[in-house]
Amino acid sequence: MNNNVSIWSENALGYDAYRPQAPTVLPDILTQLIQEPNPGLVVDIGCGTGLSTFLWAERAQQVIGIEPNDDMRRQAEARSIDLDAKNVQFRAGLSTQTGLPDDYASIVTCSQSLHWMEPEPTFAEIKRILRPGGLFAAYDYDWPPTIHWEVEVAYNELMGQVEKIRQEFEEGVQRWSKKQHLERIRASGHFRYVKELVVHNIEMGDAERFIGMVSSSHIGRILKQVISKEDLGFDRFKATIRRVLSDEPVPWYFSYHVRLGIK
């Protein structure tokens, strides 16, 4: 899985600047399901720069972010200092080897990250560190968010070009379909209650944020390695986004698919 980890190197600053926050309603839903308004420990696996980890800073007694990529984890640690979040810490680890004790966490989350993780050993590790009755939640947002139809058409056209060369630049990288998350969680046999729900969140964004999100993603890594981005229509894509969105922030409507499992 080293290749899955390394594709995020050198992307931490852009990732942290452009990516969306986790949906604010999520802690209310998850804590209600397990009847623990202020969970003793929340573990966020594949936490990146901590965007999904700090969601719990004022809710949980203790929060631990697990992140294998050094660049991402350092950015998370820097943000923790800025926010003075004393109950939040970050540790190196994998989804299959968190280094945490058995029956330790009330809630374990994976935000926009489970598709990069080997399913069965990941689910086994999550079951191990969850307390009896604890909850696992993997959630992902649909991309692009609902903003403007021309934005979506331009993005899909760019992706159509990227897909033609993606395999060449992602040799050794593995991902698992998000659409199968729920079935894989259920089939693992580690959870007695499994459910999927959809929640929504609204953020503001402009043209540069949209372009920045694409450039700081793993797709951006491919674009940086292509000698002429024009061959992929990247300049055309940016021109369309700037024409449609300009520099005036508008609402971005995000839809999140949340897959739940109760130990």
Q: Assess whether the previous peptide bond of 132 is cis (omega < 30° from 0).
A: no
pLDDT of residue 10: 64
Q: Look at residue 36 in the predicted model and tell me its pLDDT.
A: 97
CA angle 59, 26, 253 (to 5 degrees): 130
- Architecture of domain 2-262 in CATH? 3-Layer(aba) Sandwich (3.40)
Task: Give this prediction's pTM.
Answer: 0.92
pLDDT at 132 over 60: yes
In this predicted structure, the answer to whether residue 205 has a pLDDT above a threshold of 90 is yes
Residues contacting residue 58 through CB under 8 Å, at least 6 positions apart = none
Distance CA 1, CA 156 (A): 28
Mean pLDDT value of segment 60-75: 96
pLDDT at 233 over 70: yes
The model's pLDDT over 5-60, given as tens digits with 9 standing for 90+, comes to: 665 666 778 888 899 989 999 999 999 999 999 999 999 999 999 999 999 999 99
Q: Do residues 58 and 86 touch, judged by C-beta distance below 8 A?
A: no
Helix runs in the chain, H state only: 2-6, 12-18, 26-33, 70-83, 119-129, 149-169, 181-187, 207-215, 218-225, 234-245
Rounded Cα gap, residues 41 and 62, in angstroms = 5
* pLDDT over 70 percentage in the chain: 90
Token code pair at residue 29 = 């839903």
Q: What is the mean pLDDT of residues 109-114?
A: 97
**pLDDT exceeds cutoff 70 at 226:** no
pLDDT band at 75 (very low <50, low <70, confident <90, very high): very high
Q: Give the pLDDT mean for 121-148.
A: 97
Instruction: Assign 1 a pLDDT band (cuts: 50, 70, 90).
Output: low
- Nearest-angstrom CA–CA distance, 123 and 126: 5
Give yes or no for a contact between 100 and 63, defined as CB atoms under 8 angstroms apart: no
- 105 bridge partner residues: 130
* Length of the chain measured in residues: 263
Residue 208 reports pLDDT greater than 80: yes
pLDDT-derived band of residue 74, with 50, 70 and 90 as boundaries?
very high
Give the model confidence (pLDDT) of 138-183 as tens digits: 999 999 999 999 999 999 999 998 888 777 766 777 889 999 999 9
Mean pLDDT of the chain: 91
* Extents of the domains making up the chain: 2-262
Q: Inform me whether the pLDDT recorded for 3 exceeds 80.
A: no
The three-point CA angle 253-166-163 to 5° equals 55
pLDDT of 199 reads: 97
Q: Which residues contact 181 (CB under 8 A, 6 or more apart)?
A: 114, 115, 138, 140, 257, 259
Predicted pLDDT of residue 217: 76
Q: What is the mean pLDDT of residues 197-205?
A: 97
User: Residue 172 has what pLDDT?
Assistant: 75
